[in-house]
Amino acid sequence: MELTKWRNNDLLDPMGEFERLQDEINRLFDWTYPSNRGLFDRSLSPAVDVIEREDEILLQCDLPGVDRDDLDLSISRNVITIKGEKKGEQEQSEDKKTYRKETWSGAFQRTISLPETVDPEKIEANMKNGVLTVKLAKREEVKPRQISVKVK
Amino acid sequence: MSAQEMKRKARFLQPLSEIRELDHKVLIRLEMPGVSKEDLNIQVENDRLRVFAGRQDKQMNGTYLLRERNRGDYEKVFTIDETIDRDSIEAVMKNGILDISLEYKKEVQPRKIEIKGT
């Protein structure tokens, strides 16, 4: 057996870890109750990540076991609503015993206000491995543009 | 649990689980969004059933405006006793949900005894 030195890649970038922590703490102070919760959202609702990139907004939502057909996605201006139903096991058997249940099932709804810069016309949704990924392009006028200046 | 074991455990996410018994089978359901069939690793070692899934989508580039999802590799260890038939273990992964079914050994399953008589 050959021994190779174990190297933790995170150690190469210790400041990156601090920056992430700082980000996290900053976000904690920015958090206000109504901003990411709609009126009809239940306390049991899927977790959502919203990531802003240079020319797009990315939304990711954990929806394990949810079928694409049971999902309803709608957007009006910059407010996006994810609606659907998570179906649990519906077995009817006398022999059934449940020992542990941490999972939940039922209807859910999530309404999220996205930055004003999104273009509601350019939206692309994809479901894979129980994760919903929605890509929203930013409006052309807010995209960073590079203007090259010719030097004479 | 030793300190080392606890430290090791803290590195992993515990997937939400559901354990049921149906028709003399034990059904384990684990919710692991973001995991594909290829990322999964299920091992049976003596009396331990270990489910491990490394995740590809841990960190995305960009600024997080909202961050609620857990990220990290999943790990869950179950202890199974000698009544479980090791060769019968089956696993199905679909839509981020892993279903594992374990069958009891033949000799511990209830047998119906026919009553003879006239």
From B27, B68, B58, select the one nearest A63 (Cα to Cα): B68
Stretch 85-144 of chain A: residues touching chain B, C-beta under 8 Å: 89, 91, 93, 95-103, 112, 115, 128-131
- Alpha-carbon distances of B98 from B33, B39, B89, B93, B118, rounded to whole Å: 10, 12, 13, 4, 50
Indicate whether A147 pLDDT > 50.
yes
Q: Is residue A30 part of a domain?
A: no
pLDDT reported for residue A8: 60
Domain encompassing residue A118: 36-88+105-142
What percentage of chain B has pLDDT greater than the value 90?
Answer: 25
Among all chains, which residue has been given the structure tokens 């059933």?
B49
Which residues, including other chains, have CB under 8 Å from residue A3's CB and lie 6 or more apart? Answer: none
- b or e along A48-66 (b: 16 or more beta carbons within 10 Å of the residue's beta carbon)? bbbbbeeebbbbbbbbbbb
- B21 and A97 in contact by Cβ < 8 A? yes
CA distance readout (Å), B77 to A64, B6, B17, B58, B80: 20, 13, 11, 22, 10
State CA B29 to chain mean position distance. Answer: 6
Res. B98 pLDDT band, cuts 50 70 90: very high
- Cβ of B64 within 8 Å of Cβ of A93? The answer is no
Alpha-carbon distance of A10 to A6, in angstroms, equals 12
**Interface predicted TM-score (ipTM) over 0.85:** no
Chain A closest CA to B118's CA: distance in Å? 31
Strand order in the sheet with B63-67: A118-128, A131-138, A56-62, A48-52, B63-67
Q: Is A55 on the interface with B (CB under 8 A)?
A: no
> Which of B67-71, B92-96, B106-110 has the lowest average pLDDT?
B106-110
Tally of structural domains, chain A: 1
Tell me what the mean pLDDT of segment A109-134 comes to: 89
Sign (positive or negative) of CA dihedral B76, A10, B66, A67 = negative
Name the helix (H) or strand (E) containing A80.
strand A79-86
pLDDT of residue B30: 93
Domain with residues B10-57+70-108, CATH architecture: Sandwich (2.60)
The reply to whether the predicted model has a pTM over 0.80 is no
The model's pLDDT over A13-71, given as tens digits with 9 standing for 90+, comes to: 777 778 878 888 877 776 555 445 555 555 567 889 999 988 889 999 999 988 888 89
Alpha carbons A52 and A42: distance in angstroms, whole number: 25
Assigned domain for A70 exists: yes
| Mean of per-residue pLDDT scores for chain B | 85
State the pLDDT confidence band at A94, using cuts at 50, 70 and 90: low
Chain A residues close to B35, C-beta within 8 Å = 129-130
Contact map slice: A 56-85 vs B, CB within 8 A: 57-58, 60-67
Q: Tell me if A77 is assigned to some domain.
A: yes
Q: What is the CATH number of the domain that holds A69?
A: 2.60.40.790
- Rounded to the nearest angstrom, the gap between the alpha carbon of residue A112 and the centroid of all alpha carbons in its chain is 10
Q: Residue A23 belongs to what H/E stretch?
A: helix A14-30
Domain ranges of chain B: 10-57+70-108
State the residue for tokens 């033949």: B106
